[in-house]
């Protein structure tokens, strides 16, 4: 009996050690890559002024916050095999930050898919200040505030007896999950809907882009710009889908089949997969957008001649 307990403890310690090394190995370059992209935004006005770059920056901020706080707290748990400090307040704060940043990031990504449809297939959809505020800035603010308020109410204000377990990652779960209707609403609205919306909207965007390319004559510059936006969105969508799909597949399996997978198996192997979205997100952004890899240098203005009915007009342009 004691032998079995000892073997189980050794296996658990080994798993925690592997996860600690893996997370730390990815966390450091992920933070460095995020800081590099932040620097690009800070020093290059053309990136800040481009509407389609705004949501990329907001997603990067939420992922950076997740990597800095929940990932660090998880690493501390893997290193010590217990939650420290072992208090309900710490568990509540950790859970709130984890859920808020994770779900806000997921909802923002869903909104990004919808916005890319507008930016690519509508002519100047955000050309006026009013439209930019209503259809661009307000949705981003709502995507950020809704999860923060939703989980603050359920984690800190909802009246229930805490069920935190200091020997489990993320203290296992907040007590509002014991209320099945509330837990189901949270799971369906904040998890299932955006997780299914992201791949469906991304594939629809790709299909519309290919159809438009065949049916409509598009300027080379616009086509290259749209192609970059589509490729970037598909790359990010694949990252989200492949990291969330295993966890949600396990949930479907548990709903359909009588023989359910153990909760410990889900915590050990499935629950940590969405962490890699935030760890890999800066690299996906860096490698799918050539603007972040260009040197920030001033290029001389040049004159482009345009011929109109025998006359030559000179247009001065500058590259940024």
Which CATH number goes with the domain that contains 218? 1.20.1070.10
Both tokens of 173, joined, read 């779960």
Q: Best-predicted range by mean pLDDT among 93-97, 179-183, 260-264?
A: 93-97
Where is average pLDDT lowest: 11-20, 38-47, 252-261? Answer: 252-261
Q: Where are the beta strands (DSSP E) in 81-184?
A: none
Supply the range of the domain harboring residue 31: 2-317
Q: Which helix (H) or strand (E) holds 28?
A: helix 2-43
Cα–Cα dist 88/73, whole Å: 15
Say what the pLDDT of residue 13 is: 86
Taking a C-beta distance cutoff of 8 angstroms, is the pair 97, 140 a contact? no
Where is average pLDDT lowest: 60-74, 78-92, 139-153, 235-249? Answer: 235-249
pLDDT tens column, 197-240? 999 999 998 888 888 766 655 555 466 667 788 888 899 999 99
Q: How many domains does the structure of the chain reveal?
A: 1
Both tokens of 298, joined, read 């001033």
Cα–Cα dist 169/75, whole Å: 10
Q: Report the candidate in 144, 175, 148 with the shortest Cα–Cα distance to residue 162.
A: 175
Cα–Cα dist 233/215, whole Å: 22
Better pLDDT: 56 or 118? 56
pLDDT tens column, 123-135? 667 778 888 899 9
């Amino acid at each position: 009996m004691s032998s079995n307990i000892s073997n189980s403890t050794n296996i658990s310690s080994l798993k925690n050690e592997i996860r600690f090394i893996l997370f730390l190995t990815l966390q450091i370059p992920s933070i460095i890559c995020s800081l590099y992209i932040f620097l690009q935004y800070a020093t290059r006005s053309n990136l800040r002024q481009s509407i389609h770059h705004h949501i990329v920056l907001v997603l990067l901020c939420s992922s950076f916050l997740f990597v800095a706080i929940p990932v660090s707290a998880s690493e501390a748990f893997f290193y010590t095999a217990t939650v420290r400090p072992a208090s309900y307040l710490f568990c509540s704060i950790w859970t709130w930050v984890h859920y808020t940043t994770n779900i806000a990031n997921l909802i923002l990504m869903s909104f990004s898919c919808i916005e890319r449809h507008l930016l690519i297939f509508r002519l100047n959809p955000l050309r006026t200040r009013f439209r930019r505020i209503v259809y661009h800035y307000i949705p981003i603010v709502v995507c950020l505030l809704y999860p923060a308020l939703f989980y603050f109410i359920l984690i800190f204000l909802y009246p229930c007896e805490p069920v935190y377990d200091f020997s489990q990652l993320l203290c296992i779960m907040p007590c509002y999950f014991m209320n099945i209707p509330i837990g189901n609403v949270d799971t369906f609205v904040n998890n299932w809907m955006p997780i299914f919306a992201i791949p469906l909207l991304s594939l629809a965007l790709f299909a519309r882009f290919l159809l438009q390319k065949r049916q409509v004559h598009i300027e080379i510059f616009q086509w290259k710009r749209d192609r970059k936006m589509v490729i970037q969105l598909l790359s990010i969508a694949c990252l989200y889908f492949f990291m969330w799909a295993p966890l949600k597949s396990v949930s479907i399996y548990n709903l359909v089949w009588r023989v359910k997978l153990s909760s410990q198996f889900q915590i050990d192997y499935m629950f940590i997969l969405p962490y890699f979205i935030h760890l890999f997100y800066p690299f996906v952004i860096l490698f799918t957008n050539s603007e972040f890899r260009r040197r920030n240098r001033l290029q001389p203005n040049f004159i482009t001649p345009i011929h109109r009915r025998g006359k030559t007009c000179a247009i001065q342009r500058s590259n940024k």
